[in-house]
Amino acid sequence: MKVLAAMSGGVDSAVAAARAVEAGHEVVGVHMALARTPATGRTGARGCCTIEDAGDARRSADVIGIPFYVWDLAEQFTSAVMDDFVSEYAAGRTPNPCVRCNERIKFSVLLDKAVALGFDAVATGHYARVDPGEPPTLHRAADAAKDQSYVLAVLAPHRLSRALFPLGDATSKEVVREEAARRGLSVSAKPDSHDICFIPDGDTRGFLDSRIERRPGAVRDREGRRVGTHDGAQGYTVGQRKGLRLGTPAADGRPRYVLDVSVVDNTLTVGPAEDLAVAEVVASESVVWLAEPPAAGARVEAQVRAHGRAVPCTVLEADARALRVDVGGALAGVSAGQTLVLYRGDRVVGSGTITSSVPSRSRGSAAGELGGDGPLDL
């Protein structure tokens, strides 16, 4: 096959490109320039879109022996990922920008351009496995600690059929780094990127503050009593504990968490940890099925965070419009805007964007997972 290898400048994508060549494919490397001002990135930046990264990707391509190009996708990335991130927070929701990037950039804009140029597939350094077929199936990676099937579960079957993940069977990141060193790739010891790539300094709060007008408002408990004042509801996410600066302590002295973010009346609702537990999760946006939708009453597993755990759940509704599952209080701090992914064993069944959840206070459950994807550490 003729394969376009997306090369971020890191070790994973470099080894993935090398493995694609070794598998007999005709490979061309491409680095996606996603930042409008890449020169602002310097050594130690935690993103993956700097000039240094482009140079690292080029050097890796030279060692592998493949053609290499840089494609400027900054305009598309800004619109589809960065602007979406801001608008979601402005609406009181908690997005996962990595999910959006895979859905709208790597396996949409990049893939469409690749196909138009005659490529058969796009290869990336994601840790996940695809079994070809009609339709193709998506599975967890061999290394559970590095598994990224969650952020890929939004890919429709026709896009998944053109995706290659050469690292899917890698048993650990250490093994990948050792392979990179054997291949003579200088990125073998390069640190992993962290946080959100378009916020290289890690200051998510500052990034949002520069783009969303913040208005002080009330912080209330579940009974409606005012217990503090926030400096802008859009800067908080469900499950957050730090930065609330509550003027009235809880009667029992226990910490309180954000239970709800209402941008309509600019109010935060707070309460104890057990009030974060949810009984049901509803995802009625961007529904994608990678297997036959399970029947009502079927038992599968639900995951709502990229690095969270999958918990057993019962399907209440599953069709082209919505997913609704009963998690029995096994998840907590679920926010609209997150992605719900259903698994059966290691296979991805389907996904959707969460629009609401039903608290499980009456069940007395206090599950352990707090916070949304990337909660602000204030």
Q: Answer positive or negative: Cα dihedral of 142, 148, 154, 156.
A: negative
Edge-first strand order for the sheet with 226-230 is: 226-230, 217-221, 267-271, 257-262
Treating both helix axes as pointing N-terminal to C-terminal, what angle do 51-64 and 11-22 enclose, rounded to 10 degrees?
20
Please calculate the CA angle 280-331-137 and round it to the nearest 5 degrees.
80
Closest of 315, 307, 301 to residue 369, by C-alpha: 307
Q: Assess whether 101 carries a catalytic annotation.
A: yes
Whole-number Å distance between alpha carbons of 210 and 155: 32
Q: Is 197 a catalytic residue?
A: yes
Amino acid at 67: P
The contacts found for 93-96 with CB under 8 angstroms, 24 or more apart, are 93/335, 93/336, 93/337, 94/237, 94/238, 94/335, 94/336, 94/337, 94/338, 94/372, 94/373, 94/374, 94/375, 95/337, 95/338, 95/373, 96/151, 96/306, 96/337, 96/338, 96/339, 96/373, 96/374
Please pick, among 48, 49, 98, 101, the residue that the annotation labels catalytic: 101
Single out the catalytic residue among 49, 98, 197, 313: 197
The single residue listed with the structure tokens 């602000």 is 376
- Sequence-distant (6+) residues with CB within 8 A of 249 are none
Strands 299-303 vs 311-318: parallel, antiparallel or unpaired: antiparallel
Rounded Cα distance between 350 and 66, Å, is 35
Taking the alpha carbons of 222, 227, 231, 237 in that order, is the dihedral positive or negative?
Answer: negative
Crossing angle of helices 11-22/173-182, nearest 10°?
Answer: 70
Spatial separation of the C-alpha atoms in residues 122 and 130, rounded to whole Å: 13
* Alpha helix ranges (H) inside 305-361: none
How many angstroms separate the most distant Cα atoms in the chain?
A: 67
Residue 224 region, left (φ>0) first, then alpha (ψ -120 to 50), else beta? left
Task: Give the active site residues.
Answer: 101, 197
